[in-house]
Every structure is written in C-alpha cells, then in structure tokens.
Amino acid sequence: MDIATVSFEPDGRTVRALVGIAILEVAKTAGIGIRSECFGKGLCGKCKVIVKNRNALSELTQNEIERLSMSEIRSGYRLACQAKVLKDTVITIPAETRLSSRKIEISGSEKLVKVDPLVTKVHVTLPVPTLSDARADYERFLGALSKLIDVNEVEVDHLLLKQLPDVIRHSNFDVSVTIWGNQKVISIELADSLNEIFGFAIDIGTSKIVGYLVDLVNGNILDIASIENPQIIYGEDIMTRITFGMAKPKNLKMLHKLLVNAVNKIIYETCLRANIKPNRIYEIVAVGNTAMHHFFLGLQPMYTALSPYTPVIKRQVNIRARELNININPSGIITVLPIIAGFVGADAVADVLATGMYDSTELSLLVDVGTNTEIFVGNSRDLLSCSCASGPAFEGMHIKCGMKAVTGAIEKVNIHSDFTVEYETIGDEKPVGLCGSAVIDIIAEMFKQGIIDYTGKFNRNIKTSRLRRSNGETEFVIAWKHETATGNAITVTQKDIHEVQLAKAAIYAGCSILFKKKGINEKQLDKILVAGSFGNYINPENAVNIGLLPDVPKDKIIFVGNTAIMGAKMALLSKEIRKKADEISRKVRYLELATDPNFKEEFLAATFIPHEDLNRFPSIKSFCIRRDS
C-alpha cells in the first residue's frame, strides 16, 4: 500500500497515512480536532482546510463545489471530509475549523447536604492465629468485622480475598476496612489510612466532562478538572455519535474507551495536584444524558434514538471500577445515577437534586438548554418533565459563522439604532465566529432595531451596508473582514435566523405543553431556573424577547450553572440524596412531546418572534405593536 506524509500547520505535527484516506480521518490519527457537524458527509461545510499542493489531493467533489466559494477554491480551500490524500502534503487548519478548548462552566448552585456518604472506613483488629485458633483468614476477618457491622450481607471482592493473607500479616492484624453501603468491602489497608476517604463526582456531557475530587470525611472539594469530550471527533451531537456507534461493534467500543480514557485523565490530574493516591478514591458518582450514560457503561444506545426510545437500563447502576477500567481503587464502586427516559438522563436527575425542586413548595420551571433541552415544571408535590430536540444552534452549529464558546468567539452583541454593532469576544481576542449567547443577542437586537420582522425575515427597506447579498443569500454583517482573525466577515444569514427560530420554538413549546398538563401559566411561576454551562452566558432579557423563555419578571430568572456536577457531588456525599435520586427517577411524570396532539400547533406559534400570540409576552407586546404599525 502507498503511504503519504501529511504535515498539519500550525500544529507542526506530521503523520504517515494510507493514500486515499480523507484529511479528516488523517487528522484524527494525529490527535487534531477538526469540526465535522455532519459526521463527514460533506454537508455542513465546517471542516475547511487549506492545502498548499493541490495536486496532492483528490479532485473536488460536488459537495465541495456547492459549499466552497470560488475565491476559497482559488485560495486552496478544501473540505477535510471530502478531500483524500494522494501525495505528501502540508495542510493548514484555519482557526474557525479547529476544535478549541471551550469556555466551560464547572460549577453551579447546589442544595447543602449533611455529609453522610455510602463509603465508610472502620478500624478492625483481628486476633492473631494460634494452634488453638486456626480459623481461615477470611473467617477470622469476618469475625472481627462482625463486632462493628452486620456481616450477613457483606460481599468481599475476590481481588481482596487474594490480597487478604499478606495485608493482615504486614499490618500485624491491625487494619482499616473500607466499606460501601455496609454491603461491599472495597479495601483492606494499614490502619493509618482511616482518615483518607476520597470520592469523585463527574458530569459526562456531550461537549465537556467535568470532575470534582472530594474529601468524603468533610465534604470539601479538593480539586476540579474539565476536558473536552473526546468523542467530538466522531460527531458534535448525540445522534451523530449514536449513528456511528450503531455502524460497527468496534465503534461502540471506541466511543466507550474514549470516555474511559478522558475520565482517567482528569482523575490523574486532580490527584496529582492534590497529592492523593488514586487508589484512595473509593467511589465515583457519574451523571450524563442517556446517550453518554450508555456510552460510559459500554451499552448500546441505539434504541434510545428509535421510537419508543427505550434505554437499556433506567435504575441506578453500581459496578466495580475495574470492570470499566477506571483508575481508582480497583474494587471501588462506580455509581451512575438513574435516568428518567430515553432523552431525560441522569444529568437531569442531578439538576433536580441540585436545585432542590424535589422538596420545594415553590412552583419552578427548570430548563437545561442544550442540543437536547430537558425541561421540568412543578415542586415537591408533582414534577412533570419533557425533552425537546432544540438542535445545536445554541452551541453555534448549523449557523454559518457559528462556533462553540471558545477563545475568539463573539459572546455579546449590541446593535444601535444607526445599525452600528458593538461586540465582546471570549478572551478579548479578534473575532473568529459567533457562539450561542451572541446568536440570541443578535436575533433580539435585530428585532428591536427593525432589521427583521416578527416572522424572522430581513427588512429590505432599511438603509445600511451591513445588510447585503452574498453568494445568493441575504445576510447582516456583525464584524467586517478587517476586524476578524480569519480575514472573513462574520455575518448572520436568513437561514441562521430560521435555525434559531426552530430551536427557541421547540423549547418554548415544550414549556407550554407542560404548563397545560400542569394546569398553570407562566404568571404562577415562582422562578425559572436556567441550567447548563450555556445558560450562565445568556442575556435573560434577550432570551425572553425572542421567545426562548416565558415572559416573567427578570428577577425570577435564575441562572444556576452546571447543576449536573453539583447534583452528582451531592449524591456522592449523602445516602439520603442517593435515595432521592431513585425517587425522582420513579416519580417524575415524563411527557413524550411527539405524541402530544397540541405540540405541532404550539411549536408553529412559537416560531414567531417572540410568539404568534403577543398576549403571552405582555412586557414587549406594546413595543411589537407600535413597531409594526
């Protein structure tokens, strides 16, 4: 087989690849992340790269001709998923194509809990064997342990059984025993480790993974780490990854291994900084959406994506760490909190735990905004939930100049009455593209200044050079090309606006359906809780003005951050919270929007800005009527 050498700039990495392999695949082997929202099908146009030697690649495909401008083609641009390597070449990856480290929310609101973990350590002194007491080591151990706990239900791991003879003798029959839930013996160690009891809470998100190293004696967080979810190279959204995992058995193993390696990486980093041995971590509590839950456990998530959307398992899972190759104490426990439904996962259960909705008398709406938005409404008496396919627009995907919240992304936008634009970027760098919070600002500001109407259509009658035609479509310029890091103007197109309308309509319609089922309206809400890493960067006024969130007084909208990781930490620290998680999973009433007869009507009405029925948005109703009259 012919081999070609491919160098990637500005990374300075060089790899050898088989001739005929797409650049996107070669980049993966080099450990370089390239955006690929369509899973390498040549449809999204986000994987643009620049090649110096055009003869080193295959001919332009039809997909490339349709998605690259003539000037880009002349400049050597190709789509990484379409262009195949034929000869040695050098590939440059532009900033807008690269998967960069994103702005990650690693903390959130939480309800205070009493520190009472399932993991405990006890001091056990065994009688020394004699000719008159020649009991087997295991029976001797259980006899000594029985003075402290009921050993009838105790399970001693086979790995510990193999270590038992040496451990008890090296410690002069004076040991500390780590027990999980008074049921499973996790470790038998020297007695001087009694105060070293550590756990790990982890939120496995579609885009990011966040972990907390926690002292289980006092509940203190010792260190925090976060990392991009490495599965992103096989698709930026859940459905793409599920499709990839379904294609071949080895693909599912690959997606599972990527998560395991990522989790091990942040465990190693936190332990190194805190000067703690990973072997002294005795339990991990993990949460994630249903797809991540399944991938982490090595389960096939295929049927969660197909009607009637059934998961493999719903209840809480407890397994030994070595079964998943997680680098903590090998006999330690990996606990994955229960899920509610095919699209409402353990992360949503953790959201409810952290916000305290499950035991509050206040009527609350909880919205965890994401590609798959999870919504809860209710209080301690009754909780309803649904999930809506809001799509990836708020993650910057399916938006022409969209990107994730990474350095150089425009995150805040203000448009003045003379159509001049002010913006802020993450890291105060030259702009590269638009992240989700900026997209919400732009739609709200364009509506406010009359650049678009209530249907989302551009107003062709306004006089500004920022509203222009380019490559056959109308767009509004946010940043001129001389202002950007890429040398290309950053714009919002009619298609982009439509994508946001669909996303916000799905979320608002989901809220509306839950209100109807609950027999309430938004005026009765005591508060709206916006969860997730994205939520903290949304302008609440603009979120209401475009019809993303119900119209309530702004002081009722509370951004609670990454409540999923906080809920996982609460469950790690408290037996009672662990029971509550199971209770929430069983008692929450889940509503499947696809089967609701009113959903289509609600959705279509919510595509208008802010809504077809302005009576639902009294705070801006008069402005809308005055502006359109």
The alpha carbon of residue 332 and the mean position of all alpha carbons in its chain are separated, in whole angstroms, by 25
Residue 101 pLDDT exceeds 70: no
pTM of the model: 0.81
SS3 category, 468: strand
pLDDT score of 99? 67
- pLDDT tier at 104, thresholds 50, 70, 90: very low
Q: Do 3-92 and 348-392+501-628 come out as alike in CATH topology?
A: no
Nearest Cα residue to 159 out of 135, 188, 118: 188
Q: What is the mean pLDDT of residues 175-179?
A: 94
Higher-scoring residue by pLDDT: 327, 63: 327
Instruction: Give the start-end residues of each E strand in 321-361.
Output: 333-336
SS3 category, 112: coil
Higher-scoring residue by pLDDT: 395, 445: 445
pLDDT score of 502? 94
Q: How far is CA 426 from CA 276, 340, 349, 598, in A?
A: 34, 35, 31, 40
Query: Residues 335-359: pLDDT tens digits?
Result: 999 999 888 999 999 999 999 999 9
pLDDT score of 534? 64
pLDDT score of 135? 92
Token readout for 190 is 């020297």
pLDDT score of 111? 63
What percentage of the chain exceeds 90 in pLDDT?
A: 61
Q: What is the mean pLDDT of residues 258-280?
A: 95
Token readout for 197 is 């009891």
Q: Round to whole Å and give the CA distance between 301 and 295.
A: 7
Query: Residues 448-459: pLDDT tens digits?
Result: 999 999 999 999
Residue 107 pLDDT exceeds 60: no
pLDDT score of 536? 63
**What is the DSSP annotation of 514-527?**
HHHHHT--GGG-SE
Decide yes or no: CATH 3.10.20.880 for domain 119-193: yes
Higher-scoring residue by pLDDT: 479, 192: 479
**What is the DSSP annotation of 213-237?**
EEETTT--EEEEEEEE-GGGGG-SS
pLDDT score of 66? 86
Residue 628 pLDDT exceeds 70: no
Q: Are 370 and 391 in contact (CB under 8 A)?
A: no
Q: Is 625 exposed, middle or buried (0-12, 13-18, 19+ CB in 10 A)?
A: exposed
Residue 582 pLDDT exceeds 60: yes
pLDDT score of 546? 96
pLDDT score of 615? 93
Q: Is 558 exposed, middle or buried (0-12, 13-18, 19+ CB in 10 A)?
A: middle
Q: Are 403 and 479 in contact (CB under 8 A)?
A: no
Mean of the per-residue pLDDT values of the chain: 90
Q: Are 367 and 355 in contact (CB under 8 A)?
A: no
- pLDDT tier at 43, thresholds 50, 70, 90: confident
Backbone angles phi, psi at 287, to 5 degrees: -135, 160
Token readout for 418 is 């003379």
Per residue, what are the HEC states of 382-428? EEEEEEECCCCHHHCCCCCCECCCECCEEEEEEECCCCCEEEEEHHH
Q: Are 365 and 380 in contact (CB under 8 A)?
A: no
Least confident of 403-417, 508-522, 614-628: 614-628
SS3 category, 74: helix
Q: What is the mean pLDDT of residues 200-211?
A: 92
Q: Look-up: residue for tokens 């349709």?
A: 66
Q: From the CA atom positions of the chain, what is the Rg in Å?
A: 27
Q: Are 262 and 250 in contact (CB under 8 A)?
A: no
pLDDT score of 36? 73
Query: Residues 508-541: pLDDT tens digits?
Result: 999 999 999 999 999 999 999 999 766 667 899 9
Higher-scoring residue by pLDDT: 371, 6: 6
Query: Residues 476-516: pLDDT tens digits?
Result: 999 999 999 888 899 999 999 999 999 999 999 999 999 99
Token readout for 623 is 């402005």
Q: Round to whole Å and give the CA distance between 5 and 85.
A: 9
Query: Residues 587-619: pLDDT tens digits?
Result: 999 999 988 999 999 999 999 999 999 999 999
Q: What is the mean pLDDT of residues 168-180?
A: 93
Domain boundaries 199-344, CATH class: alpha beta
Total Cβ atoms within 10 A of residue 629: 5
Token readout for 570 is 């609460």
Q: Round to whole Å and give the CA distance between 457 and 470.
A: 16
Nearest Cα residue to 367 out of 477, 528, 596, 517: 528
pLDDT score of 393? 77
Q: What is the mean pLDDT of residues 132-158?
A: 89
Domain boundaries 348-392+501-628, CATH class: alpha beta
CATH topology assigned to domain 3-92? Ubiquitin-like (UB roll) (3.10.20)
Q: What is the mean pLDDT of residues 400-407?
A: 84
pLDDT score of 492? 97
Query: Residues 366-386: pLDDT tens digits?
Result: 999 877 889 999 999 999 999
Q: What is the mean pLDDT of residues 318-324?
A: 96
Residue 26 pLDDT exceeds 90: no
Domain ranges of the chain: 3-92, 119-193, 199-344, 348-392+501-628, 393-497
